[in-house]
Amino acid sequence: MLMDSRGNIMLKRLLPEHAQELLELRIRNRQYLQPFEPIRDASYFTAEGQEKDILTGMGDKDQATSVSFGIFLKETDELAGRVALTGIARGPFQNANLGYFIGQEHRGKGLMTEAVRLCVGYAFEEMGLHRVQAGVMPRNRPSLRVLEKVGFRREGLAKRYLQIHGVWEDHELFAMTREDWEEQKQPGS
């Protein structure tokens, strides 16, 4: 469990027993998230589909190719969203892709910024990664703002980068390295 005592959330590694709760969150927010996600097969929106998604990130932190965390509210232990490191590459790259979503009812409260900050800290301090990158559609202003607040730098525009809801969408690319992270932690930064 990752927790910042000053914050409102805790990140917990998602386990198969969270599949039903994650499914309910996904279904409640399906329309809200649809413009920012790939077209999903119907099997994805089942408890088994969510469990399969969770199980892909269950490996040892030094061997896993993905790690998914649930964003749980401290006060109620409600699952409010998910943040994940995917496509983890070791060797000379030491990189991961960052992805995240928050339920519509929890947007605009700073919870996603807090979750991304905790997840990035885990990537650098626990997993020993050197770089975390993220791609965001230019029209997804709230998501762009999260990355900016956490300290990611904009690296450029990738044309037709990912197929989202059946359309090849441009994405702004952002990244942060371990050095950037360490610099942020310095007093006066």
Q: What is the pLDDT of residue 59?
A: 60
pTM (2 d.p.): 0.88
pLDDT at site 4: 62
185: DSSP letter: H
CA distance 156 to 54: 31
In this prediction, residue 62 carries a pLDDT of 67
Q: What is the pLDDT of residue 91?
A: 92
Rounded Cα distance between 60 and 156, Å, is 33
Distance in angstroms (rounded) separating the CA atoms of residues 66 and 26: 19
What are the DSSP E strand ranges found in 43-123? 67-73, 79-89, 95-102
Two structure tokens written together for 151: 């300290």
Residue spans per domain, the chain? 2-185
Q: How far is Cα 172 from Cα 63, in angstroms, rounded to an integer?
A: 29
Other CB atoms within 10 A of residue 180 CB: 16
Among the listed residues 60, 72, 75, 86, the one whose alpha carbon sits nearest the alpha carbon of residue 18: 72
Topology of the domain comprising 2-185: Aminopeptidase (3.40.630)
Give dist(CA 105, CA 93) in Å, integer.
37
Q: pLDDT tens, position by position, for the chain (189 residues)?
A: 666 656 899 999 999 999 999 999 999 999 999 999 888 899 999 999 999 888 876 665 666 789 999 999 999 999 999 999 999 999 999 999 999 999 999 999 999 999 999 999 999 999 999 999 999 999 999 999 999 999 999 999 999 999 999 999 999 999 999 999 999 987 665
Tell me, what's the pLDDT at 65? 87
Residue 120: what pLDDT?
97
